[in-house]
Amino acid sequence: MRKPIIVGNWKMNKTRAEAAVLADELKALVGGVKEVDIAVAVPYTDIDRVKKSLRGSKIRVGVQNVAWADSGAFTGEVSAAMLVEAGVEYVIIGHSERRQYFGETDESVNKRVRQALKYGLKPIVCVGETENENLQGLTGLVIERQIEADLEGIDRKDLSKIVIAYEPIWAIGTGRTPTAEQANETIAAIRREVSKLPQGTKAVAAKMRIQYGGSMNAKNAAELMAQSDIDGGLIGGASLKSADFAAIIEAAKNSVAGGEKA
């Protein structure tokens, strides 16, 4: 069975004071939910403040990047050891905004994924096509290339620790989404790609949790979560409002109420 996983990507939002307010609200609304894994990926400066607010709840803390080196002369980077010490569990890697604005490549994504796993951090690896690629019918090819390169050389036993987030770039922050069926089809294709990796197997792919991301909100979450292969969501804008994020978690909870995804 794949347990649903909903992760809020706060991006570059929320000062410590603002983060405390949101985290307090989330703890009150969804802090006791057991059926869904919940995390918030926060700015580094918010980590300890958010952890303080979430103490005693089941909500975990993540961040939005991790350095690929252990330590040293890497100005501006934050190491896996530093994150582990700070109590971080999840790390988003290869978000399209990092690929687009900060020169992240499949090669650097792969290095960061390896480093996260080495330190016991749980990577959330983002893949997805641009609008042009989508219009040209290249989604399947783009996904195949990214899965192969981003997960290259990762041990079979580590693959199941990874969460993949399928985020069509044209759906991020735009209010537009693929239909739930289209999202499900692409996510099923990602699962097939994982099974076809040299170190992949059908069993590993069947266990891997794959999220949808891109304008997922309180309104469309139930339909997306009802799909056979969509195991959760990576939520940007709607994760900044506690009521909206809680509604998405409720939809995820209901999606497995009648059975399980397998």
**3-state class (DSSP) for residue 18:** helix
Q: How far apart are CB 196 and ligand PGA at their closest, in Å?
A: 26
CB of 260 within 8 A of CB of 1?
yes
Question: Rounded to whole angstroms, how far apart are CA atoms 70 and 78?
Answer: 9
* Residues 6 or more apart whose Cβ sits within 8 Å of residue 177: 168, 171, 183, 214, 215, 216, 220, 224
Residue of 97, 133, 167, 250 with catalytic role: 167
Q: How far apart are CB 90 and ligand PGA at their closest, in Å?
A: 13
Q: How far apart are CB 220 and ligand PGA at their closest, in Å?
A: 11
Nearest residue (CB) to ligand PGA, 46 versus 167? 167
Nearest residue (CB) to ligand PGA, 26 versus 204? 26
Residue of 95, 129, 133, 193 with catalytic role: 95
Q: How far apart are CB 127 and ligand PGA at their closest, in Å?
A: 12
Nearest residue (CB) to ligand PGA, 121 versus 169? 169
Applying CB under 6 A, the residues found at the interface with ligand PGA are 9, 167, 172-173, 213-216, 234-238
Residue 95 a catalytic site member: yes
Nearest residue (CB) to ligand PGA, 193 versus 244? 244
* Residues 6 or more apart whose Cβ sits within 8 Å of residue 19: 10, 42, 43, 46, 49, 50, 53
Question: Rounded to whole angstroms, how far apart are CA atoms 240 and 238?
Answer: 5
Residue 85 a catalytic site member: no
* Token reading at 217: 């909100």
Name the amino acid, one letter, at 5: I
Q: Give the CA distances from residue 165 to residues 69, 75, 125, 224, 231, in Å, rounded to whole numbers and listed in that order.
A: 24, 28, 6, 13, 10
Q: How far apart are CB 214 and ligand PGA at their closest, in Å?
A: 5
Nearest residue (CB) to ligand PGA, 180 versus 197? 180
Question: Rounded to whole angstroms, how far apart are CA atoms 213 and 215?
Answer: 7
Sequential DSSP letters for 189-205? HHHHHHHHSTT--HHHH
- Which residue number has the CB closest to ligand PGA? 236
Query: Would you name the residues annotated as active-site residues?
Result: 95, 167
